[in-house]
Amino acid sequence: MTSREIIKAVLDFRFPPRVGMALPSPYANDMLFAGRKGRPRQELQPQGGELRRWRDEWNVTWASLTEFDKGEVVAPAIADWSELADYRPPDLGRAEDYAGATEAFAADGEMFRISYLPGFTFNVARKLRKLDNYLCDLMLERDNVLKLNGIVREELLKGIDCIADAGADAIMFGEDWGTQDRLMIAPEMWRELFRPEFEELASKAHQRGLYVVMHSCGKMTDIIEDLIECGIDCLQFDQPRLHGINVLSDRFGGRISFWCPVDIQTTLQTRDAEAIRRDAQIMIEKLGGFGGGFIAGYYNGNEAIGLSPDVQDIACKAFTELGT
């Protein structure tokens, strides 16, 4: 089977010959990533202790304190709701912006082809308003939140069409919904405000023949059942032990796939080869034991989590050896 066929079999629980692999060279990798080329960011003068400051194409201002962190929003695009009427988002429906992805996907028919969205609605809207403001807005400015979400959603729907036209097999987006011990907002509020967004966007992707892969950090176990019902096909977790591997297996196994490295917050931090190898085996058996359902992952940021690459190399070797 080709890599593309293996990943599809994993996601559809059709008994692939091995688990999916998203590992660095020299290990197996089934994934080909290519995406939209947006407007280049505008570099700005750093302030205070900042190392870098820039403005993105959504007109959100970011700053970073180190070379390896991804930065944080320091100034929203919409500082006051009076600015909403005049706000113009980037156009995610420009076919020419996906030309590189189209070319890359056409050149390789063996790999599973993934293209990124900048998020579903929450991940974009929270940056446009800045997270602390946006969370207050959910309670105090419901009408404006719905208007902003609608603006973002329309661009994402256009992006899904362009990604499908480019020849992708899946969309992938990041949307961190959890804190260390719970969902960021009440589950009831999530279901009221954001479940309809997930249903519409995932349905659009499925209509265009795309799988839907979601990354999320934190413990957002309370909405995994909702995500399955909305049509999310695969959850990419870097901290699977935060949910409990047995919980993921017992409650959701066989109905949604999981794409995980060995847990970056707990197990990898032990630097214990036996513990790392044991976790790799547990995930293969418990998450991938449904005729599919598991993709072995790698955290592309060793420096950010204070590890040298040889620690994850233990996990890569275990996934390779045990994943058939």
Residue partners of 180: CB distance under 8 A and separation at least 6 = 218, 219, 242
Rounded distance between C-alpha atoms, residue 292 and residue 258, angstroms: 10
* Residue 309 is assigned to a structural domain of this protein: yes
* Residue 46 is assigned to a structural domain of this protein: no
pLDDT at 76: 98
Rounded distance between C-alpha atoms, residue 153 and residue 121, angstroms: 6
**β partners of residue 72:** 63
Task: Report angle CA 164, 38, 43 to the nearest 5 degrees.
Answer: 160
Of the pLDDT bands very low, low, confident and very high (cuts 50, 70, 90), residue 69 is confident
Mean pLDDT of the chain: 97
Task: Look up the domain containing 317 and give its range.
Answer: 3-39+78-322
pLDDT at 172: 98
pLDDT at 173: 98
pLDDT digits (tens, 9 = 90+) for 12-41: 999 999 999 999 999 999 999 999 999 999
Per the CB < 8 A criterion, the answer to whether 197 and 237 are in contact is no
The answer to whether the Cα torsion of 144, 149, 154, 155 is positive or negative is positive
Burial zone of 70 (CB within 10 Å; 0-12 exposed, 13-18 middle, 19+ buried): exposed
User: How many structural domains does the chain have?
Assistant: 1
pLDDT digits (tens, 9 = 90+) for 189-222: 999 999 999 999 999 999 999 999 999 999 999 9
* Residue 239 is assigned to a structural domain of this protein: yes
For the chain, percent of residues with pLDDT exceeding 70 = 100
Average pLDDT of the residues in 298-304? 93
* Residue 219 is assigned to a structural domain of this protein: yes
* Residue 108 is assigned to a structural domain of this protein: yes
As given in the structure block, the two tokens for residue 152 are: 């973002």
**β partners of residue 294:** 258
pLDDT at 200: 98
Per the CB < 8 A criterion, the answer to whether 108 and 180 are in contact is no
pLDDT at 68: 80
pLDDT digits (tens, 9 = 90+) for 228-267: 999 999 999 999 999 999 999 999 999 999 999 999 999 9
* Residue 147: CATH number of its domain: 3.20.20.210
pLDDT at 288: 98
pLDDT digits (tens, 9 = 90+) for 74-117: 999 999 999 999 999 999 999 999 999 999 999 998 999 999 99
Cα→Cα distances 41→52, 56, 62, 161, Å: 12, 5, 10, 24
Residue partners of 139: CB distance under 8 A and separation at least 6 = none
pLDDT at 66: 87
pLDDT at 191: 98
Which of helix, strand or coil describes residue 172?
strand
Per the CB < 8 A criterion, the answer to whether 34 and 100 are in contact is yes
pLDDT at 70: 85
pLDDT digits (tens, 9 = 90+) for 160-174: 999 999 999 999 999
Q: What share of the chain is helix, strand, coil (3-state, %, to 5)?
A: 45, 15, 40
Task: Report angle CA 117, 17, 319 to the nearest 5 degrees.
Answer: 70
Q: Is the pLDDT of residue 283 over 90?
A: yes
pLDDT at 262: 98
Q: Is the pLDDT of residue 67 over 90?
A: no
* Residue 19 is assigned to a structural domain of this protein: yes
As given in the structure block, the two tokens for residue 319 are: 């996934």
Per the CB < 8 A criterion, the answer to whether 195 and 184 are in contact is no
Q: What is the pTM of this model?
A: 0.96
* Residue 50 is assigned to a structural domain of this protein: no
The answer to whether the Cα torsion of 80, 86, 89, 93 is positive or negative is positive
* Residue 68 is assigned to a structural domain of this protein: no
CB atoms within 10 A of CB 107: 9
Average pLDDT of the residues in 272-290? 98
